[in-house]
Every structure is written in structure tokens, then in C-alpha cells.
Structure 1
Amino acid sequence: MAEKSITGHRNAVDRVLAAQGFALDLPGLGRVHLPRPEQLAYYGALGALAAAEIIEWPVAVVLATGHWLVQNQHNRVAHQIGEALEDA
């Protein structure tokens, strides 16, 4: 019964992480992972603001990097929760 619970927790974590984005198979590039549409909109808005010279390019890059790091940390926390549930 405990093994079934561990598998269930692992599957739940995998589903949460899979919902963080999607992937496209592009010719010549292979499988490309893309963030969720609202995250793409965020990056696009930063690019548009920088292109319109409303914000400087280095500021846009720092903001985009910070956003990516926060998302990466979220994924790491999800993995740690899954591992903790497996050990319980």
C-alpha cells in the first residue's frame, strides 16, 4: 500500500511540473520546451518595452532572468516536496 502512495505522489509532482509549460517538436532544433502562455507574454512585454526604449535592454534581461530563476526555484521546491512525500 505504501508503494502505491509513493507512486501517486510522484505522479502528482510530475503532473504539476508538466503543467509549467509545453514542448514543440521543431525541425532542425528537436524538442523545444516553452513556458506557459502567460510567461511568454511577460517575456514578450519585456522585449517590447526594451525595443520601444521604455526600459533599457540590460534591465529587461535582469528582469527576465529574475523571473526565470523564480520559476526554476518553484520547480526545485516541487521536486523536494515529492521526495519528502516519498520518504514519508
Structure 2
Amino acid sequence: MAEKSRTGHQNAVDRVLAAQGFAVDLPVIGRVRIPRPEHLAYYGALGVLAAAEIIEWPVALVLATGHWLIEDQHNRIAHEIGEALEEA
């Protein structure tokens, strides 16, 4: 029974995380998570702004890092919600 609960738990967590994007297996690098299209657009826009020298590269890096950290926190919260739903 514990194994069935563990499998169900993992399925719930996987479903919650799958809603946040997808991953690709690359030969040398391994599994790389690809952000959702709106996040890719954000990172791309920062790159274009920095390349056009509208904003400085360090500012673009700080903004991208902050965005990534917020997204990572959101993924952790989604993981915890999945665990809580499985336990209920």
C-alpha cells in the first residue's frame, strides 16, 4: 500500500510540474528544462534590449536571475501543493 501511495504521490507531483514546462534530454548535457513560451519571450526580450544597448548587460542579468528565482519558487510551491493533495 505504501508503494501505491508513493506512486500516486509521484504522479500528482509530476502532473503539477508538467504544467510548468517540459524537459529535453540532450546528449552531453543531460536533461534540460525548457521554460514556458512566455518565459522564453521575457528572456529573449531582455537579450534584445541588452544587445541593442537599451539596458546594460548586468541589469539584464539581474532581471533574468530575479525572474528565474521567482519561477523556481513557484515550482517549489507547485511541488508542495502536489504533495499536500496526495496526502489528503
**What is the TM-score of this pair, normalised by structure 1?**
0.76
Equivalent residue for 2:41?
Answer: 41
Structure 2 gap segments, 5+ residues each: none
Using CA pairs under 8 Å that are at least 6 residues apart, name the structure with larger relative contact order, 1 or 2.
2
Question: Displacement of 1:16 after TM fit?
Answer: 2.2
C-alpha RMSD of matched pairs (Å): 2.3
Alignment of 1:23-38 (within 5 A): 23-38=23-38
For residues 15 and 86 of structure 1, the distance between their equivalents in structure 2, rounded to whole angstroms, comes to 12
Percent identity among equivalent residues? 77
Question: Displacement of 1:30 after TM fit?
Answer: 3.5
Structure 1 gap segments, 5+ residues each: none
Question: Displacement of 1:21 after TM fit?
Answer: 1.4
Equivalent residue for 1:61?
Answer: 61
Count of equivalent residues: 84
**What is the TM-score of this pair, normalised by structure 2?**
0.76
